[in-house]
C-alpha cells in the first residue's frame, strides 16, 4: 500500500504559500527575455519603494502634527487615505489578473479555518497591504512620539483597522473573482473601467459648471461619513488623546463591529469556495431537446456584391466587433471626445483666454485626432483571431480577400464614427468653409487608405495575440506601435503641409484638389499592394500562426 503523508500545520502551510508566491515572482522574472521589461520592473520597484517610503514620512509627520497640535480628530483623514488606497488599488489592478489563483490551494488537504487564515495571510502579502501597513506603522510612531500615552491605544486601533482592511479587501477580491470569472461580465467590467477612466476628463468641466451647486450637498453628506471605519478609527484615537475613554471604547467597538460583519461575510464566501463553488465558464449541460437553429443568415445583408469569402470575413469581423464589449463600447469615444474638446477649446464655447480655436483649424484637427485613434487597431488586425488564423491558410482563398474583408469592415466603422463626430461638431461649433470641409474629407480618404496599406503590412510582420476582455499582457508589438506612429506622423505631416499650402498659394481650393489626387493615388496603391501582401502572407504564415496560436 502507498505511504500517505501526514497533515501539515497551518503555519507551515502559510510558509509554503508565501514561498510559492515568491517563486512565481522569481520565475516570471526569469521568463522575461526582454531586458527592457526587467529594467522597467526594477525601475517600477524602486519608484514604488520611494513612493511608499516618502509617504511613510508624510504619514508620520501628519500623525505627529495632528496629535501634538491637539487636532487629533484629523487623524481620521489619514485613516481614510490608507483605507481608500488599500481597497481601491487592488480593484484597479484586478484587470491585470492574479499570477496565482488562490483557489487552487483547495486541492490540498486544508480545513476551512486553515483556508480562511491562509486567505487572510495571502491578502497581507499584496503590495497595497504592505504599503498600507508601513504607513499605519509610521502613523503610530508619529502619534507615539507626539504623545507617548496614545501609543498603546494607537497600536490596538491600528491592528483592528488593519484586520478590517485585509478582511474587506479579500471579500471584495472574492466578489470580483466571481464577477470576472464570467467572460461577458469580465469584458463589460473592463469596458466600463476604461470608459470611467476616459470620463475622468469630464471632471474638470463638470466641476467648473456645477461645482458651486454641489458643494452644499457634499457638506450635508459629510456627517454620515463619521460612521465609516476610517472615521471611527480616527475618533477612537482622538478620544484617547483627549482622555475620553468612552469615546475610545465606542470607536473601537464600532470598528470591531465592522470586522465581525465582514469576517462573517468573508467566511461565507470562503466556505462556498471551500465546498466547491463552480466558477467555470463552460456552459452547464442541458437536455438535448431539439430547438430550431436560428436562421440569422436568411435575410439579405447587402453583402451580395462581394465574393463569398470577402463577405464571410466582413460578417465575422462585424460579429467580433459587437461581441468585444471593450471594442464596442470604445466606439463611443470619438463622439465623446468631440464633445469634450469642443466644450474646452473651440468655437462658440471658448474657454481658453476667451478666444478658442477657429472652426477652420478645429475641424481638420479633431478629424486627424480621431483617425489617429481609430486606425491604431489596424496595425495588428489579426490580434483577436487566435487559432482561427489557420483557417485563412487552409481555406481555398487568396489572402487579399481576407484583407479586403477586414479593411472594408474598418472603413465602414470609420465612416459611421466620422459621420457621428461631424454631426456632433456641427451641433457644437458648426461646419468649416466648403473648401476646408471637402479638403478634410479628401484628406481622410488619403490618410485612411494610405495607412491601410502600411497597416496590413505591419499586421503580417509584427503580429501579437490579444485576448478579449483581458488587460494583463495585452501589449501590441513594439515594432507595430513604431510603424503606426511613424506612418501617422508621415500622413499627418503631409496633410498639414497641404492644408497650409492653401493659405500660402492664395488658392483655398488647392488643398481639396491636392488631397483628391492623393486619395486617388492612395486607392490605386492600396489595390496594387494586395497581391504583394498575399505573397507576403504566404511567406509570413508560420510567424503569424505561431504568434497567434500560443
Partner 1 sequence: MPEIAIQTQKLTRRFGKLLAVDAIDLQVTAGQFFGFLGPNGAGKSTTIKMLTGLLAPTSGSMQLLGQDFATHPVEVKRQIGVVPEGMGLFERLTGSEYLHFIGRMYGLDRATTRRRSDELLEFMRLADRPKTMVADYSHGMQKKLALAAAVIHGPRILFLDEPFEGVDALAAGALKSLLGRMTERGTTIFLTSHVLEIVERLCSHVAIIHKGRLVAHGSLEELRAGISDEEGNKTLEQIFVSIVGQDGTERPQLEELSWLM
Taking CB under 8 A as the criterion, the residue among 315, 343, 471, 481 binding partner 1 is 315
**Shortest CB 296 distance to partner 1, Å:** 7
In a 10 Å sphere around its CB, with 0-12 CB exposed, 13-18 middle and 19+ buried, how is residue 369 labelled? middle
Which residues neighbour 465 within 8 Å (Cβ) at sequence distance 6 or greater?
383, 386, 547, 548, 550
CA distances from 256 to 164, 167, 314 (A): 8, 12, 59
Closest CB to partner 1 among 104 and 394?
A: 394
Q: At what angle do helices 245-274 and 112-124 cross, to 10 degrees?
A: 120
In the complex, minimum distance from the CB of residue 328 to partner 1, in angstroms, rounded to a whole number: 12
Residue with Cβ nearer partner 1 (246 or 394): 394
**Cα separation values, 171 from 106, 166, 240, 265, 322, Å:** 17, 8, 31, 7, 33
Please choose, out of 89-97, 293-301, 335-343, 476-484, the segment that lies near partner 1 by the rule CB under 8 A: 293-301
Using CB under 8 A as the binding rule, whether residue 312 contacts partner 1 is answered as yes
**With b meaning 16 or more CB within 10 Å and e meaning fewer, what string describes 134-148?**
bbbbbbbbbbbebbe
Residue closest to 140 by CA, chosen among 227, 201, 213, 82: 82
Among 147, 398, 428, 435, binds partner 1 (CB under 8 A): 398
Which residues lie below 8 Å from residue 318, measured CB to CB, with a gap of 6+? 409
In the complex, minimum distance from the CB of residue 392 to partner 1, in angstroms, rounded to a whole number: 8
For the bound state, the minimum distance from the C-beta of residue 294 to partner 1, rounded and expressed in Å, comes to: 5
Give yes or no for residue 291 binding partner 1 (CB under 8 A).
yes
Site for partner 1 (CB under 8 A): how many residues?
A: 49
Contacts of 381 (CB under 8 A, 6+ apart): 406, 410, 455, 456, 459
When asked if residue 302 is in the footprint of partner 1 (CB under 8 A), the reply is no
Site residues for partner 1, 321-360, by CB under 8 A, read 323-324
Interaction pattern, residues 454-493, with partner 1; x per rule: CB under 8 A = --------------x-------------------------
Distance CA 234, CA 161 (A): 10
Residue 5 binding partner 1, by CB under 8 A: no
Applying CB under 8 A, which of residues 9, 223, 276, 289 lies at the interface with partner 1?
289
Residue nearer to partner 1 on the CB measure, 169 or 187 = 187
Taking residues 251 to 280 in sequence order and writing x for each that binds partner 1 by CB under 8 A, - otherwise, the string is ------------------------------
Which of 529, 542, 530, 305 shows the shortest CA–CA distance to 397? 530
Residues between 173 and 232 that touch partner 1 (CB under 8 A): 183
* Residue 183 CB, nearest approach to partner 1 (Å): 6
C-alpha cell at position 377: 487597431
One residue of 44, 391, 419, 431 binding partner 1 per CB under 8 A: 391
Which positions touch partner 1 (CB under 8 A)?
Answer: 2-3, 183, 281-283, 286-298, 308-309, 311-312, 315-316, 319-320, 323-324, 384-391, 393-398, 468, 538, 541-542, 545, 549
Amino acid at each position: 500500500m502507498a505511504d500517505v503523508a501526514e497533515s501539515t500545520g497551518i503555519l507551515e502551510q502559510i510558509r509554503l504559500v508565501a514561498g510559492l508566491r515568491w517563486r512565481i515572482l522569481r520565475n516570471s522574472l526569469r521568463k522575461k527575455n526582454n531586458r527592457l521589461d526587467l529594467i522597467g520592473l526594477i525601475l517600477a520597484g524602486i519608484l514604488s519603494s520611494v513612493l511608499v517610503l516618502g509617504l511613510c514620512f508624510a504619514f508620520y509627520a501628519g500623525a505627529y502634527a495632528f496629535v501634538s497640535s491637539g487636532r487629533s480628530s484629523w487623524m481620521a483623514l489619514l485613516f481614510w487615505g490608507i483605507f481608500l488606497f488599500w481597497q481601491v488599488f487592488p480593484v484597479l489592478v484586478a484587470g491585470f489578473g492574479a499570477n496565482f489563483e488562490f483557489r487552487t490551494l483547495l486541492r490540498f488537504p486544508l480545513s476551512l479555518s486553515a483556508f480562511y487564515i491562509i486567505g487572510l495571510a495571502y491578502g497581507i502579502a499584496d503590495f497595497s497591504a504592505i504599503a498600507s501597513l508601513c504607513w499605519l506603522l509610521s502613523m503610530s510612531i508619529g502619534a507615539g512620539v507626539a504623545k507617548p500615552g496614545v501609543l498603546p491605544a494607537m497600536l490596538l486601533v491600528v491592528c483592528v483597522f488593519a484586520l478590517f482592511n485585509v478582511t474587506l479587501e479579500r471579500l471584495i477580491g472574492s466578489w470580483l473573482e466571481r464577477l470576472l470569472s464570467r467572460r461577458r461580465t469580465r469584458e463589460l467590467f473592463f469596458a466600463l473601467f476604461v470608459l470611467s477612466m476616459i470620463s475622468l476628463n469630464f471632471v474638470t468641466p463638470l466641476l467648473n459648471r456645477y461645482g458651486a451647486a454641489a458643494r452644499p450637498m457634499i457638506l450635508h453628506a459629510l456627517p454620515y461619513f463619521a460612521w465609516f471605519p476610517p472615521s471611527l478609527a480616527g475618533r477612537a484615537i482622538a478620544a484617547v488623546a483627549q482622555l475620553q475613554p468612552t469615546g475610545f471604547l465606542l470607536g473601537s467597538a464600532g470598528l470591531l463591529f465592522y470586522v465581525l460583519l465582514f469576517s462573517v461575510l468573508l467566511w461565507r464566501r470562503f466556505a462556498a469556495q471551500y465546498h466547491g463553488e463552480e466558477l467555470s465558464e463552460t456552459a452547464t449541460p442541458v437536455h438535448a431537446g431539439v430547438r430550431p437553429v436560428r436562421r440569422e443568415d436568411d435575410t439579405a445583408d447587402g453583402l451580395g456584391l462581394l465574393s463569398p469569402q470577402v463577405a464571410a470575413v466582413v460578417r465575422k469581423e462585424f460579429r467580433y466587433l459587437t461581441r468585444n464589449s471593450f471594442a464596442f463600447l470604445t466606439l463611443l469615444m470619438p463622439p465623446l471626445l468631440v464633445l469634450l474638446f469642443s466644450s474646452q477649446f473651440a468655437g462658440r464655447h471658448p474657454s481658453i483666454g476667451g478666444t478658442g480655436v477657429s472652426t477652420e483649424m478645429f475641424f481638420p484637427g479633431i478629424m486627424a485626432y480621431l483617425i489617429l485613434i481609430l486606425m491604431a487597431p489596424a496595425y495588428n488586425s489579426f490580434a483577436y483571431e487566435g487559432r482561427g488564423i489557420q483557417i485563412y491558410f487552409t481555406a481555398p482563398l487568396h489572402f487579399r480577400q481576407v484583407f479586403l474583408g477586414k479593411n472594408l469592415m474598418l472603413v465602414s466603422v470609420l465612416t459611421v464614427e466620422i459621420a457621428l463626430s461631424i454631426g456632433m461638431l456641427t451641433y457644437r461649433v458648426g461646419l468649416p468653409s466648403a473648401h476646408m470641409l471637402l479638403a478634410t474629407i479628401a484628406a481622410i480618404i488619403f490618410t485612411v487608405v494610405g495607412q491601410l496599406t502600411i497597416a496590413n503590412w505591419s499586421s503580417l510582420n509584427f503580429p501579437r495575440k490579444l485576448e478579449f476582455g483581458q488587460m494583463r499582457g495585452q501589449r501590441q508589438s513594439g515594432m507595430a506601435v513604431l510603424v503606426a506612429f511613424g506612418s501617422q506622423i508621415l500622413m499627418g505631416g503631409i496633410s498639414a503641409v497641404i492644408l497650409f499650402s492653401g493659405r500660402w498659394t492664395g488658392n483655398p481650393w488647392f488643398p481639396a484638389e491636392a488631397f483628391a489626387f492623393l486619395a486617388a493615388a492612395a486607392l490605386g496603391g492600396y489595390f496594387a499592394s494586395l497581391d504583394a501582401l498575399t505573397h507576403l502572407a504566404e511567406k509570413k504564415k508560420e510567424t503569424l500562426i505561431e504568434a497567434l496560436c500560443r
